[in-house]
Amino acid sequence: MAQLLEDKVALVTGAGRGIGREHALLLAEHGAKVVVNDLGGDEFGSGADLTPAAEVVETITSAGGEAVVNGGSVANLDDAAAMVQQAIDTFGDIHIVINNAGILRDRMMFSMSEDDWDTVLAVHLKGTFGPSHHAATYWRNKAKAGEETYGRIINTSSPSGIYGNVGQTNYGAAKAGIAAFTVIAAQELVRYGVTVNCLAPSAWSRLTAPLMGGDEASEEFKESISPRWIAVAAAWLASPEAANVTGRIFDIRGEQLGIAEGWHLGPVEVQPDNPAELGPVMAKLMASARLNADMSGRDREGPGFPSQSI
């Protein structure tokens, strides 16, 4: 099998289980040396256990690959710097950052605590910024010194972030922020030879299992949305073949690979300066505009939706 990532060095966050684990294993299978980061907390962000990350490293090294454990918190900027530096110190460089670490604290907005909000945004959104910031600084410094750079940042959004899902204002806001972060970071880093892309995956994991049928889900269904499908796109985006792909959000559901096209300006009207006269103008806009997508990424259908703005 041709190896897409020979001699490349990757940092994968949240790589002890689920999608992150599959990222680390497939990158290593394609020749990358991997820093396997995982704090080892539970799905709510509590606790710490290096065992899952160590098991991933053991799997990689037993197969002849190279990998090391990192147990830092992506929500801590100093820990994020240490992850990047560990890759450089251990393997001599860093080429790929996959920001995958995540937790869930699902609540309806009126039941959500400040800690539910702050912790989820810290892990997801700040946890994407930290490793990306330190890697981007390293690549920019190399470029300014006249050295050749190779940089790939691959972030993790969610259908909940780009389409919306009830009970996930904290998670969805963080994931929407990651999508926007991706688009802007891609614009900022293109001059340094760095690409920035984002995955919006639907896959079976300990985080999503309760939302996808839990113990009632069939093995056939679980396999159809295996996390390995997400890693396939990530490995390709990390490779030299993806040099001209940047600023994109990829919606991945098993074998289905698509691009989420993002916000575009829809119908436009001239508004009056008196809000009392705005009703008919707004009605015309609403009648012409597409409805927001549902969680499948497609147009909503069903009674009531044409008159609503959700």
- Residues that are catalytic: 158, 171, 175
3-state secondary structure 10-74: EEECCCCCHHHHHHHHHHHHCCCEEEEECCCCCCCCCCCCCHHHHHHHHHHHHCCCCEEEECCCC
296-304: list long-range contacts, CB under 8 Å, 24+ apart: 296/159, 296/163, 297/159, 297/162, 297/163, 297/251, 297/258, 297/260
Provide the token pair at 172: 């969805």
Neighbours of 41 (CB within 10 A): 17
Spatial CA neighbour of 36 closest among 5, 60, 64: 60
- HSE-up (13 A, CA, CB side) for residue 96: 32
Burial environment of residue 143 by CB neighbours within 10 A (0 to 12, 13 to 18, 19 or more): middle
CA distances to 205, 305, 306 from 289, rounded to whole Å, are 36, 12, 10
Structure tokens that stand for 212 in this block: 């996808």
Do 123 and 103 meet the contact criterion of CB atoms below 8 Å apart? yes
